[in-house]
Copies of this chain bind each other. A is one copy, B any other.
Amino acid sequence: MTERSALRAEAETANAAFYAAFESADLDAMQELWLEDADTLCVHPGALPVRGTGAINRSWALIMANTPYIQFFLTDVEVSVLENVASVTCTENVLTADERTGPDAFGGARAVATNVFVRTPAGWRLWIHHASPVLSADHDDA
């Protein structure tokens, strides 16, 4: 495996850890994945940006507290590494339940995410997570 493909594999693993933390509502694991930085950025689907790791952690706490169940099926995962920065883009196919749905009802949705990771001595850490709802199929895989 070349160094570049090894780095891509590492970034993809970090990306999978991000979704695993969200699925298991593991706020500690989620916090661990982010850079400790005022310049980190998180855009939840349809929302305005949340900036800075403190505010981002609070946004995840709120989301996790209000999401009894969520599961991601990632498709079209593409990794691009440029020096110490990696971007992972993917389509998030989401199964979820919230307070408005009963335990047997699930909503499905699709979002596109750009996750930008930075390589640190402790491993790859999130700098940017930007997720957006998919409203049209204009630019589908064609």
Contacts and interface: CB of A to CB of B under 8 A. Distances in A.
28 contacts: A41-B78, A43-B112, A44-B138, A46-B133, A46-B136, A47-B134, A47-B138, A47-B139, A48-B112, A48-B138, A49-B76, A49-B78, A49-B89, A50-B139, A51-B78, A51-B89, A82-B84, A82-B85, A82-B127, A83-B84, A83-B85, A85-B85, A87-B116, A87-B128, A114-B130, A116-B116, A132-B132, A133-B133
A28 interface: no
A112 B141 CA distance: 24
Nearest to A134: B48
A33 interface: no
Interface in A23-79: 39, 41, 43-51, 59, 76, 78
A1 interface: no
Contacts of A45: 132, 135
A127 B46 contact: no
